[in-house]
C-alpha cells in the first residue's frame, strides 16, 4: 500500500469511524455513542498529534530547536475565530450560496485561513531567526512566541486578556483525525521525498550540506513554515473544540508540552511522535488527580531520558513501519 | 527632567538585578558554550531561601543591627544558591559533557521545569510576601525624586559584588583557570587545569550572583512565587546577549541598559504609543534586533565557525 492510498484510507477511516461512533442518536449508524468526556480526549489526542508531528519536522527532521509552537497555534486559533466568531455573521452570509453546507464551508475556510495566517507568521519569524542555531534559535522562537501572546493579550478586538468566547464548537472527531492524517502524510511524504533529504542533511551536518549545494536557510524556513501551518490548523481545531480561547492558553508551557511529546516520541520519528502525542494526552487525563505531581514527573523524565536515552522512548521505532528500513 | 531621572533610577536598580543574573549566563556560556535555562529558577529558589532564612533567623538574632542581619541573609542565600547550582551541574549536566548541545539544552529545560514545579509543590502556587530585611525609607533632599534607601543599597552592593567578581576572575588562580578553559578546554586541561572543578566552580559563582539578585529583586518588589524566575531569567539572558555573550563587562552593561530601556518604555508608554502591557515583549524585541544586526553583542567577539 503506497503512502498516498494509505493516507486516503486513513482520512476515510477517520470519517467513517467518527460517523459510527459519534453519530447523533438520529444518525444512520449509531453503532455506539461515546460519552462526551471520552470524545473530548480522543479529539484532543488528534490535535496533539497534529501539533507534535508538525513540531517534529522542525525539531526532529531539520534539527532546529523551536520553542514557539504555541505562538503559531495561537495565530491559527485567533485567525480562525476571526472568521467564525468575530465576523461570523458576515462570513456566513457570504457563503450562503452553499446552502445547507454553509456552516461547514465556513468552518473549512476558517481552518485554512487560520493555518495560512500561522504559516505567514512562521515565515515572518523564520526568515530572521533561522540564521541562528541551537540555543539561540530556541530563545528567539520562545521570544517570538511570547510576543505573539502579548500582542493578543493587548488587542481588545480579540478580547484582550479576557479571551474570546462563543466560538462555534464545530470540531468533530472526523475533522480532527482527518487533519491528523493529512499532517502525518504531508510530513512523511515531504521528508521522504528527494527534496526532503535536504532537511535531514541540514540536521546531520549543516556545513557539509551547504558544501553539497543545499541552501540550509531555505530548508529551515520551509520546515518552519510547514510546521507553523499545521500548528495553526491545530490551533483552529482547538478553538472550535473548546469554544473559548485566551492568551493564557498559549504560553511557553504549552510549547514545552509539545516539545516533551516530540522528545519522548523520538526526534525525527514521525510514528514515535504520533504515538507519544496520543499517549501523553491520555496520561494527562489519567493523572488529572495528581496534577501537581505531573509536571514534576515529566521534567524528571526529560532529564533522565536525555542522560540515558537521548533518542527518545520510541525513537528508532519507525524502522519497523517503514518499508525501506531507512530513516522514517 | 525629574521624571526622566526617576525612571532612570528605577531602571538602574532593576537593571542591577538583571546584570547579576546575566553574569551567571555569560560565565557558564564562557566555559561550557551552552545556555543554562535553569538559571532563572536558581534565582527563584534564592528568593524563597531568603524568605525562609529571614523568617527562621529573625527570632534568634534579635539584638543584631539591621544591616548585619540583611548581610547575613544575603550571604546565606548566596551560599545556598551556589550549592544548588553546583548540584545541578553535577547531577544533570556533567553526564552530558560530550553529548550534542541540543541534548544538554533539553536537559536544561527539564531542570528548569523540575525546579519550577517542585517549587510549586513545596511553596504553593500563590505569591508569598518577602520579609523586609531593611526598613524602607525614602532618601530626602533629592528634589522631587522618590528614591528609597533599598534602591541605593541594591546599586551599591551590586557594584561591590561586581568588584569581587572582577577580582576572582582576574586575580586568582581559579579565575585564571576559568579564562583558560573558556579559551580552549583541551589546551587548559593539558596545562593542568582540572576542568570539572572549574566548571563546577563557575556554576557555583554564577548561581551565587543570581542568589544575590534574587534577594535584591524580592526586596524591591516584595512578592515571590515559584514562576518568578522565568521572565527575569529570560530578560537577563537577553542582557547577556546584548552585552555580548561570554563577556563579563558586557553582561553588566547589558543588564543595566535592558533595565533602563524596559522602565523607560513603560514609563513613557503614552508618549511612545506602546501600551504598558507590552513590557515583557520589550526584551524580546531587543533580542531579535541584536541578533539580526549585531549578533556578537556590544562587547563580544565574532567567532568564525570552523569546519
Least confident of A102-116, B148-162, B286-300: B286-300
Is the CB of residue B284 less than 8 Å from the CB of residue A143? Answer: yes
A323: cell is 518499508
Supply the mean pLDDT for chain B: 90
> How large is the average pLDDT for residues A34-45?
85
* Residue-level pLDDT at B123: 92
Verify whether the Cβ–Cβ distance A292 to B121 is below 8 Å: yes
Interface of B with A (CB under 8 A): 34-35, 92, 95-96, 99-107, 109-114, 116-118, 120-121, 230, 234, 237-238, 241, 275, 277-278, 280-281, 283-285, 287-288, 291-292, 295, 305, 307
B269 compared with B111, residue with greater pLDDT: B111
Chain A residues whose CB is inside 8 A of the B307 CB are 207
Domain membership flag for residue A66: yes
* Residue-level pLDDT at A1: 42
The boundaries of the domain holding residue A196 are 3-251
B68 Cα to chain A: minimum distance (Å) = 37
pLDDT digits (tens, 9 = 90+) for A204-253: 888 899 999 999 889 999 999 999 999 999 999 999 999 999 999 998 88
pLDDT over threshold 50, residue A321: no
Share of chain A above pLDDT 90, in %: 33
| A27 confidence band (pLDDT: 50, 70, 90) | very low
* Residue-level pLDDT at A292: 80
Best CA proximity match to B206, nearest among B185, B178, B244, B181: B178
Look at chain A and report how many structural domains it folds into: 1
CB-based burial, B105-139: b 16+ in 10 Å, e otherwise: bbbbbbbbbbbbbbbbeebeeeebebbebeeeeee
Phi, psi of B136 (to 5 degrees): -80, 130
State the residue for C-alpha cell 461515546: A34
Mutate: best of A64, A69, A139, A301, partner B, most B CBs <10 A:
A139
pLDDT digits (tens, 9 = 90+) for B140-172: 767 778 888 888 999 999 999 999 999 999 999
pTM of the full structure: 0.87
* Residue-level pLDDT at A316: 57
* Residue-level pLDDT at A324: 46
Verify whether the Cβ–Cβ distance A139 to B287 is below 8 Å: yes
Beta-bridge mates of residue B142: B144
pLDDT digits (tens, 9 = 90+) for B33-78: 888 989 999 999 999 999 999 999 988 888 888 889 999 999 999 9
> How large is the average pLDDT for residues A6-13?
69
Domain membership flag for residue A322: no
Domain membership flag for residue A153: yes
| A320 confidence band (pLDDT: 50, 70, 90) | very low
Domain membership flag for residue A296: no
CB-based burial, A249-264: b 16+ in 10 Å, e otherwise: bbbbebbbbbbbbbbb
Is the CB of residue A284 less than 8 Å from the CB of residue A295? Answer: no
* Residue-level pLDDT at B63: 83
pLDDT digits (tens, 9 = 90+) for A180-211: 999 998 998 898 899 989 999 998 888 899 99
> How large is the average pLDDT for residues B18-29?
93
CA A117/CA B295 separation, integer angstroms: 29
| A18 confidence band (pLDDT: 50, 70, 90) | low
| A279 confidence band (pLDDT: 50, 70, 90) | very high
* Residue-level pLDDT at A287: 85
> How large is the average pLDDT for residues B188-195?
93
* Residue-level pLDDT at A23: 44
Of B95, B100, B291, the CB nearest to A307: B95
Cβ-based neighbour number of residue B231 at 10 Å: 15
Q: For the domain that residue A247 is a member of, what is the CATH number? A: 1.10.3470
* Residue-level pLDDT at A20: 53
Phi, psi of A244 (to 5 degrees): -145, 130
Verify whether the Cβ–Cβ distance B280 to A146 is below 8 Å: yes
Chain B residues whose CB is inside 8 A of the A147 CB are 281, 284-285
B261 compared with A252, residue with greater pLDDT: B261
CA B50/CA A219 separation, integer angstroms: 49
Residue of A nearest to B289 (CA): A128
Residue of A nearest to B118 (CA): A296
Verify whether the Cβ–Cβ distance B117 to A138 is below 8 Å: no
CA B303/CA B20 separation, integer angstroms: 25
Verify whether the Cβ–Cβ distance B96 to A307 is below 8 Å: yes
Chain A residues whose CB is inside 8 A of the B275 CB are 154
Chain A residues whose CB is inside 8 A of the B287 CB are 139-140, 143
| B236 confidence band (pLDDT: 50, 70, 90) | very high
Beta-bridge mates of residue B144: B142
Verify whether the Cβ–Cβ distance A139 to B118 is below 8 Å: no
Domain ranges of chain B: 13-230
Verify whether the Cβ–Cβ distance A303 to B105 is below 8 Å: no
B172: cell is 586568582
State the residue for C-alpha cell 505573539: A148
Amino acid at each position: 500500500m503506497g503512502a498516498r492510498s494509505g493516507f486516503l484510507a486513513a482520512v476515510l477511516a477517520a470519517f467513517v469511524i467518527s460517523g459510527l461512533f459519534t453519530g447523533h442518536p438520529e444518525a444512520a449508524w449509531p453503532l455506539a455513542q461515546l460519552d462526551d468526556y471520552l470524545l473530548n480526549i480522543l479529539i484532543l489526542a488528534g490535535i496533539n498529534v497534529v501539533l507534535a508531528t508538525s513540531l517534529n519536522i522542525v525539531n526532529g527532521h531539520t534539527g532546529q530547536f523551536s520553542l514557539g509552537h504555541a505562538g503559531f497555534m495561537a495565530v491559527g486559533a485567533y485567525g480562525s475565530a476571526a472568521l467564525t466568531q468575530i465576523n461570523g455573521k458576515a462570513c456566513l452570509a457570504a457563503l450562503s450560496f452553499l446552502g445547507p453546507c454553509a456552516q461547514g464551508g465556513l468552518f473549512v475556510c476558517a481552518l485554512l485561513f487560520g493555518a495560512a495566517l500561522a504559516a505567514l507568521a512562521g515565515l515572518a519569524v523564520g526568515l530572521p531567526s533561522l540564521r541562528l542555531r541551537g540555543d539561540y534559535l530556541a530563545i528567539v522562537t520562545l521570544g517570538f512566541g511570547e510576543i505573539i501572546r502579548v500582542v493578543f493579550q493587548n488587542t481588545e478586538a480579540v478580547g484582550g486578556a479576557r479571551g474570546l468566547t462563543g466560538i462555534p464548537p464545530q470540531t468533530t472527531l472526523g475533522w480532527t483525525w482527518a487533519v491528523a492524517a493529512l499532517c502525518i502524510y504531508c510530513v512523511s511524504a515531504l521528508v521522504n521525498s528527494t527534496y526532503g533529504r535536504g532537511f535531514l542533511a541540514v540536521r546531520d551536518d549543516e556545513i557539509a550540506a551547504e558544501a553539497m549545494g543545499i541552501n540550509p536557510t531555505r530548508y529551515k524556513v520551509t520546515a518552519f513554515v510547514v510546521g507553523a501551518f499545521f500548528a495553526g490548523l491545530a490551533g483552529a481545531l482547538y478553538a472550535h473544540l473548546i469554544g473559548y480561547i485566551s492568551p493564557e492558553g498559549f504560553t511557553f508551557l504549552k510549547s514545552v508540552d509539545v516539545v516533551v511529546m516530540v522528545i519522548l516520541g523520538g526526534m525525527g520519528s514521525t510514528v514515535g511522535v504520533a504515538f507519544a502525542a496520543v499517549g501523553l494526552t491520555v496520561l494527562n487525563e489519567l493523572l488529572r488527580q495528581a496534577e501537581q505531581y505531573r509536571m514534576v514527573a515529566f521534567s524528571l523524565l526529560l532529564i533522565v531520558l536525555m542522560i540515558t536515552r537521548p533518542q527518545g522512548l520510541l525513537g528508532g521505532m519507525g524502522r519497523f513501519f517503514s518499508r525501506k528500513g531507512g530513516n522514517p | 527632567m525629574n521624571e526622566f531621572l526617576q525612571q532612570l533610577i528605577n531602571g538602574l536598580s532593576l537593571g542591577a538585578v538583571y546584570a547579576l543574573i546575566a553574569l551567571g549566563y555569560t560565565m557558564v556560556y564562557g566555559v561550557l558554550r551552552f545556555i543554562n535555562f535553569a538559571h532563572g529558577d536558581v534565582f527563584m529558589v534564592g528568593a524563597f531561601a531568603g524568605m525562609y532564612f529571614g523568617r527562621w533567623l529573625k527570632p534568634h538574632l534579635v539584638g543584631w543591627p539591621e544591616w548585619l542581619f540583611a548581610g547575613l541573609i544575603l550571604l546565606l542565600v548566596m551560599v545556598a544558591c551556589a550549592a544548588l547550582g553546583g548540584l545541578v551541574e553535577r547531577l544533570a549536566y556533567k553526564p552530558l559533557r560530550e553529548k550534542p548541545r541540543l541534548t544538554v539544552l533539553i536537559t536544561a529545560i527539564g531542570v528548569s521545569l523540575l525546579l519550577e514545579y517542585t517549587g510549586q509543590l513545596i511553596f504553593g502556587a500563590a505569591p508569598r510576601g518577602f520579609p523586609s530585611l531593611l526598613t524602607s525609607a525614602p532618601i530626602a533632599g533629592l528634589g522631587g525624586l522618590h528614591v528609597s534607601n533599598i534602591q541605593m543599597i541594591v546599586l551599591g552592593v551590586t557594584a561591590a559584588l561586581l568588584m569581587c567578581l572582577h577580582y576572582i576572575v582576574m586575580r586568582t588562580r581559579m579565575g585564571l583557570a576559568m579564562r583558560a578553559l573558556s579559551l580552549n578546554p583541551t589546551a587548559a586541561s593539558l596545562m593542568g587545569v582540572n576542568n570539572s572543578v572549574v566548571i563546577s566552580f563557575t556554576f557555583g559563582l554564577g548561581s551565587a550572583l543570581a542568589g544575590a539578585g534574587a534577594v535584591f529583586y524580592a526586596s524591591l518588589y516584595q512578592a515571590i512565587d515559584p514562576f518568578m524566575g522565568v521572565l527575569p531569567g529570560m530578560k537577563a539572558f537577553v542582557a547577556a546577549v546584548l552585552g555580548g555573550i561570554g563577556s563579563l563587562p558586557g553582561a553588566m552593561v547589558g543588564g543595566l541598559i535592558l533595565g533602563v530601556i524596559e522602565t523607560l518604555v513603560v514609563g513613557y508608554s503614552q508618549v511612545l504609543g506602546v501600551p504598558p502591557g507590552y513590557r515583557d515583549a520589550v526584551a524580546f524585541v531587543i533580542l531579535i534586533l541584536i541578533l539580526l544586526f549585531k549578533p556578537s553583542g556590544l562587547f563580544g567577539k565574532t567567532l568564525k565557525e570552523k569546519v
